[in-house]
Amino acid sequence: MCQSTVFVCAILAALFAVAASNNCKTLQIQANGALTNGTYTIQNSDGQSYKIYCQFYDGYGYTFLSTSTNVNVDMSSLYDDTSHVIIRHKRSSGVQYTSTMAQLGTFSSNPVSVQYSGHSGYQGPNNTAMAPYIFVGFIPQSLNRKDDLQGWKVNGEDLTFNNCDGNPNSYIAFFFNPSGQNYTDYVGGHNKLMYQWYDGASAVAQSEYLLDEFFANYHEVHQGGCGGYSRGSNVPTGGAVGMKFTLECAVPAEVAGAQMTYQGTYIGHTSTYSCVSGYQHTDGDLSRTCSGSGAWSGSTPVCGNINECASNPCQNGGQCTDYLNSYTCACASGYQGTVCETNINECQPNPCQNGAQCTDQIYDYTCACVAGYAGKNCEINIDECASNPCQNGGKCTDGINDLNCACVAGYEGKHCEITLCSWPFGLANTEVVGWA
């Protein structure tokens, strides 16, 4: 099982994307399963363009090569199921028919080989002057034995013959013949082994009809030396070879804020997403299945960042800022704490001076000054002399919540407000004896 966090899986996916040739399968993967049956232009490894027809079914499809092709084609890049091919043919009535051709059971472990203008491993056709051509080989030369039971399977029926002379021919070929060459002189004949693909074919629904450019009007069939041979003049028809491919899905999309695991990209495999801490599922599907069309079911999930500020966690007017899986509070003046829950005690340390009593407020405090002091912090000694309380020329000296008046001669009292008596003859009152 691949995980989106595993580096090796990412490398393998990248290598697959680079190495895969352009074909119906990769086109459908790139389209996330949205392609319909039709003609598509692709390129070979040399960057040369040619056309194919893609016919899609549930979980698989068939590729057909246009007879306008005149560039090198690696046919193995167009299919990945070598168990059989389908042969489409078009009759003079315009109706199209199809048959399935596969190996006999005794040769089922050997692939059906489809080659472009070649026959590697097989006895080749006679009419190569009509190239380009599509060659479909069944029993390779290395497995041909004299007196062996050989043949092929057509529409599920084993069609066999005894290879009486060890002749290794085992193929059907369709020629594009752009230069208009004639068949060789060898005509051959028509028998069930050679032509059950034609005589036993089933009509194709019109919705699946191929365009004319995919039918080659010349063919050749050969089985051993005792099975039979025929060139197309025996059964004039246009033929096309369908090469089977299996469908699969693209590597599942990465999703921001989610961890993704997937079984693989084959039909029926699943991909599962889980939102990581700090994210929540807001849209799409957390579990998706690779469907038969080559598309992941449902829609790509969305994991949105959880807004930790949505519940208004900041108290006392604090401003909340959301982060991934966290938040911060910018506290209003006078508050502190994770959520601004604590009123800052402006009386700690005590700002009030000279014995004053501090009372905390919101982003403020008050000082109850003791007598004789004033100011925000009771830092000011009140000047009791400021009002000039000393009378009659007395000189004032300020104290703490008090003052002292130094009276001039003839006055006394707190504020020199008392006038002393004036005695005759310049005598003090202590000197008068017998005064009545």
- Model confidence pLDDT, tens digit, residues 287-301: 999 999 999 999 999
This prediction's pTM: 0.71
- Closest listed residue to residue 317, CA positions, set 337, 334, 332, 335: 332
Q: State how far Cα 134 lies from the chain centre.
A: 40
345-382: which CATH number, 2.10.25.10, 2.40.30.130, 3.40.50.300, 2.40.128.130?
A: 2.10.25.10
Residue 226 has pLDDT above 80, yes or no: yes
Predicted pLDDT at 125: 97
Give the percent of the chain with pLDDT over 90: 88
Whether residue 81 contacts residue 23, with contact meaning beta carbons closer than 8 Å, is answered with no
Closest by CA position to 296, among listed 248, 342, 355: 248
Length of the chain (residues): 436
Q: What is the pLDDT of residue 398?
A: 87
The tokens 């804020």 sit on which residue? 257
Are residues 106 and 123 in contact, defined by beta-carbon separation less than 8 angstroms? no
For residue 121, the model assigns a pLDDT of 97
Please classify residue 328 by burial: count the beta carbons closer than 10 Å to its beta carbon, then call 0-12 exposed, 13-18 middle and 19+ buried. Answer: middle
> Could you give the dihedral angle defined by the CA atoms of residues 413, 418, 420 and 421, in that order, rounded to the nearest 10 degrees?
-150
Mean pLDDT, range 180-200, rounded to an integer: 96
SS3 sequence of the chain: CEECCCHHHHHHHHHHHHHCCCCHHHHHHHCCCCCCCEEEEEECCCCCEEEEEEEECCCEEEEEECCCCCCCCCHHHHCCCCCEEEEEEECCCCCEEEEEEECCHHHCCCCCEEEECCCCCCCCCCCHHHCCEEEEECCCHHHCCCCCEEEEEECCEEEEEECCCCCCCEEEEEECCCCCCCCCCCCECCCHHHHHHHHCCEECCHHHCCCHHHCECEEEEEECCCCEEEEHHHCCCEEEEEEEEECECCCCCCCCCEEEEECCCECCCEEEEEECCCEEEEECCCEEEECCCCCECCCCCEEEECCCCCCCCCCCCCEEEEECCEEEEECCCCEECCCCCEECCCCCCCCCCCCCEEEEECCEEEEECCCCEECCCCCEECCCCCCCCCCCCCEEEECCCCEEEECCCCEECCCCCEECCCCHHHCCHHHCCCCC
pLDDT at 324: 86
Q: Average of pLDDT values for 187-214?
A: 97
pLDDT attached to residue 421 = 80
Whole-number average pLDDT of the chain = 91
For range 84-101, the mean pLDDT: 97
Q: Per-residue pLDDT averaged across 64-74, rounded?
A: 97
- Which residues are 149's β-sheet partners? 162
Q: What is the mean pLDDT of residues 405-409?
A: 93
Residue ranges, CATH 2.10.25.10, the chain: 345-382
- Could you read off the pLDDT of 292-346 as tens digits, one per residue? 999 999 999 999 999 999 999 999 999 999 998 899 999 999 999 999 999 999 9
Q: Is the pLDDT of residue 169 over 80?
A: yes
Q: How many whole angstroms separate alpha carbon 301 and alpha carbon 282? A: 8
Strands 279-283 and 302-305: antiparallel
Express each pLDDT in 411-420 by its tens digit. Answer: 999 999 999 9
Task: Supply 377's token pair.
Answer: 């912090």
Cα 147 from chain centroid (whole Å): 59
On the question of pLDDT at 3 being above 60, the answer is no
Residue 1's pLDDT band (boundaries 50, 70, 90)? very low
pLDDT tens, position by position, 230-271: 999 999 999 999 999 999 999 999 999 999 999 999 999 999
Question: First CA to last CA across the chain, in angstroms?
Answer: 132
- Do the Cβ atoms of 322 and 313 come closer than 8 Å? no
For residue 10, pLDDT over 70 is answered with no
CA-to-CA dists, residue 359 to 121, 350, 353, 369, angstroms: 103, 9, 13, 11
What is the identity of the amino acid at 399? G
Arithmetic mean of pLDDT, 191-202: 97
Mean pLDDT of 389-412: 92
Rounded distance between C-alpha atoms, residue 271 and residue 264, angstroms = 8
Low-confidence winner among 55-69, 174-188, 395-409 (lowest mean pLDDT): 395-409
Q: Tell me which of 155-169, 282-296, 389-403 is least confident.
A: 389-403
The whole-number pLDDT of residue 84 equals 98
pLDDT band at 422, cuts 50/70/90? low
| Overall CATH class of domain 395-431 | mainly beta
In this prediction, residue 399 carries a pLDDT of: 87
pLDDT recorded at residue 424: 56
In the numeric block, the tokens 């999930």 are attached to 301
Whether omega for the bond prior to residue 125 falls within 30 degrees of 0, making it cis, is no
Residue 263 in tokens: 């079984």
CA dist., res. 338 & res. 330, Å (int): 9
Predicted confidence band of residue 12 (pLDDT cuts 50, 70, 90): very low
Is the pLDDT reported for residue 21 higher than 90? no
